[in-house]
Amino acid sequence: MNTPAMDPQQLKGHLDLLLLATLEDSPRYGGQIIADVQAATDGFFNLREGTLYPALHRLEKAGWISGEFQQLPRGGSPVKVYTLTPTGRTELREQREKYERFASAVRGVIGGSV
């Protein structure tokens, strides 16, 4: 099922959580993050580089992720591969809990399941 594209306003306040969760299982470079988020949301979240890279820089500055340039097996220019740090794992857990409380509160107002 292909869902309509997101309204950019819907991403506000949730981007950090999406990025941290995407890096939870394994390190990824920017293009992989974009593709993985798009695939996991059936195309609903279609991140642009102009949104992604400033957010990754902010998360790196906060110490929640670390980035290291690596050469990919396919060749080409090195890419920066991002890894979730231990501090980032703690932040991810906290943000998940906050999101669950938020979603529960919204369900309480609008009814049904969100």
pLDDT in tens, 79-110: 999 999 999 999 999 999 999 999 999 999 99
Strand, helix or coil for residue 63: coil
Question: What pLDDT band is residue 64 in, cutting at 50, 70 and 90?
Answer: very high
What does pTM read for this prediction? 0.86
d(CA 32, CA 34): 5
Domain 14-108 CATH assignment equals 1.10.10.10: yes
Residue 5 pLDDT > 80? no
Closest of 27, 30, 24 to residue 89, by C-alpha: 24
Asked whether the beta carbons of 69 and 78 are under 8 A apart, the reply is yes
